[in-house]
Amino acid sequence: MIAASASPRPGPLAVRSTPIPGFLRLDLTVHGDNRGWFKENWQREKMMALGLPDFGPVQNNISFNDEVGVTRGIHAEPWDKFISVATGRVFGAWVDLREGSSFGTVYTTVIDPSVAVYVPAGVGNAYQTLEPATAYTYLVNDHWSPDGDYTFLNLADETAAIPWPIPLDDAIVSDKDRTHPRLRDVTPVSATSRFGGGGQGRRVLVTGANGQLGRELLARLPRAGFTATGVDLPDVDISEAAAVAAIDWSAHDVVVNAAAWTDVDGAETPEGRRLAWRANATGPANLAREAVRHDLTLVHISSEYTFDGTIEPHTEDEAPSPLGVYGQSKAGGDAAVEAVPEHYLVRTSWVVGDGGNFVRTMASLAGRGAAPSVVADQTGRLTFTVDLAAGIIHLLSAGAEYGTYNISGRGPVVSWCDVAGRVYELLGHRPDEVSPVTTAEYFAGREGVAPRPLHSALDLSKIEAAGFIPGDSMERLESYVRAL
């Protein structure tokens, strides 16, 4: 147990750490004269610069207390708080009720107009008034719900041993607060609780859940300790702002956007252009808005089609240069996602998983004895959804720095023709049954064909430096084909 106290003192704005991880004490600047005093009780820019998290408050509450000795707590809700007083003084006490090594750690201090505290979700909060007519005020970043799961600790718990200035027998305490459990009977607040933090154990909403990546994520996230929920059309259309806003975001900590319009040629038609922009740009923008509003981590899947394919390999900081409508719409969605403070923009290419894809098409042709012509001047690496999903889970679990990451398979850079020939070979056919052609030759005489980037290989040094090593794409191809 760790206990501390401090006397109030006016002075320069400062943010100080405490023995409870993530719990911060703030010394506020109070300006006084013969008329009274003034302070900036909440100043986002200045406080963030000194280390206060940008926790996104959505509600301000004030508790007015008539008498000395009013005592409330110990309550741990699944949201963060910024606590201060407008008038009077309180003795504040906090107990870490989150699971982990700091469970049961205590911090106390006196809060007057010159002191404030930042209380992370899961830390039990209590106070006792030291002056009459005390106005206790707090900002929170979520709304109370009658269905919420809240944790409590008894004010008189012997293990916490809070040194109340006024003995609890003499204090004004509600009957409900007197009946809260002792620390030994408290179930620690888990990482799955809203704003509970931690890499694993969080609640993930997967959009595009019926796609190749969506299915892989829903299978793998629970194995990694996450709670996963999937949505897809027609139940949820992310391009509809009202539908996205109507989602109960308090039930999620992370949203992975695996939804997309991927008909590259269809996007070049008048109707397809509108649908592509709705799914690939408007949809991510709607998710980005809610991610900021509800303090969510947003993972968004991008494409190498945001580039013109003249540079190889593509790095994370390459400027967008899309050739066609599909790539343009994906670049639009990427720009919206990059405005979210907690985002992972995952760029990938040539995705293969459980569903319709190039490898399955080639296997089907081989089974029918067809001898296809396949482009040989478009090069890149296959990305199997087992690696793409595992890479996303690694970013979330490891708490990697937010930003853009390339994720594809490793191994040699090959052409679509190389891949097709290898599929034929693995299925007992001659690889030369696949004829190489150029992109121009393949699409000669066809209308409504989207331009393709010729070079799609992605630089993987950033994701590998973050601790994730994807599998070799051609080795994955062998296993995939043999499992068909």
**What are residue 76's DSSP bridge partners?**
151
Phi-psi sector, 309: left (phi>0), alpha (psi -120 to 50), beta: left
Measured N-to-C along each axis, helices 358-367 and 416-426 cross at an angle, to the nearest 10 degrees, of 50
Residue with tokens 């993930």: 204
pLDDT by residue (tens digit) across 342-382? Answer: 999 999 999 999 999 999 999 999 999 999 999 999 999 99
Length of the chain: 484
CA–CA dist 412, 472 (Å, integer): 8
Residue with tokens 């190498």: 304
- DSSP labels for 247-310? S-GGG-SEEEE------TTGGGSHHHHHHHHIIIIIHHHHHHHHHHHTT-EEEEEEEGGGS-S-
Query: C-alpha angle 114/117/118, rounded to 5°?
Result: 145
* DSSP run (H or E) holding 14: strand 14-17
The answer to whether 248 and 423 are in contact (CB under 8 A) is no
In which band, very low, low, confident or very high, does the pLDDT at 201 lie, cut at 50, 70 and 90? Answer: low
Q: Which pLDDT does position 382 carry in this prediction?
A: 98
Q: Which residue has the higher pLDDT, 35 or 473?
A: 473
Residue 2 has pLDDT above 80, yes or no: no
In which band, very low, low, confident or very high, does the pLDDT at 278 lie, cut at 50, 70 and 90? Answer: very high
What are the residue ranges of CATH 3.40.50.720 in the chain? 203-483
Extended beta strands in 316-393, E state: 343-348, 351-352, 373-375, 379-380, 383-384
- What percent of the chain has a predicted confidence (pLDDT) above 70? 95
Residue 233 has pLDDT above 50, yes or no: yes
Question: What does the block give as tokens for 18?
Answer: 């405490």
In which band, very low, low, confident or very high, does the pLDDT at 195 lie, cut at 50, 70 and 90? Answer: very low
Q: Which residue has the higher pLDDT, 223 or 229?
A: 229
Q: Which pLDDT does position 1 carry in this prediction?
A: 42
User: Residue range 439-447: average pLDDT?
Assistant: 92
CATH number of 14-185: 1.10.600.10, 2.60.120.10, 2.20.28.10, 3.40.50.300?
A: 2.60.120.10
Q: Which pLDDT does position 197 carry in this prediction?
A: 38
pLDDT by residue (tens digit) across 84-124? Answer: 999 999 999 999 999 889 999 999 999 999 999 999 989 99
CATH number of the 203-483 domain: 3.40.50.720
- Is residue 138 annotated as part of the catalytic site, yes or no? yes
pTM comes to 0.67
Q: Name the catalytic one among 138, 305, 344, 480.
A: 138
Phi, psi (5° rounding) for residue 255?
Answer: -125, 130
Q: Which pLDDT does position 86 carry in this prediction?
A: 94
Residue with tokens 């009658």: 146
pLDDT by residue (tens digit) across 143-189? Answer: 777 666 789 999 999 999 999 999 999 999 999 999 999 999 999 98
What are the residue ranges of CATH 2.60.120.10 in the chain? 14-185
Residue 236 has pLDDT above 50, yes or no: yes
Residue 9 has pLDDT above 70, yes or no: no
Q: Which residue has the higher pLDDT, 448 or 159?
A: 159
User: Could you write out the three-class secondary structure of 98-120?
Assistant: ECCCCCCCEEEEEECCCEEEEEC
In which band, very low, low, confident or very high, does the pLDDT at 56 lie, cut at 50, 70 and 90? Answer: confident
In which band, very low, low, confident or very high, does the pLDDT at 196 lie, cut at 50, 70 and 90? Answer: very low
- Is residue 75 annotated as part of the catalytic site, yes or no? yes
The answer to whether 212 and 232 are in contact (CB under 8 A) is no
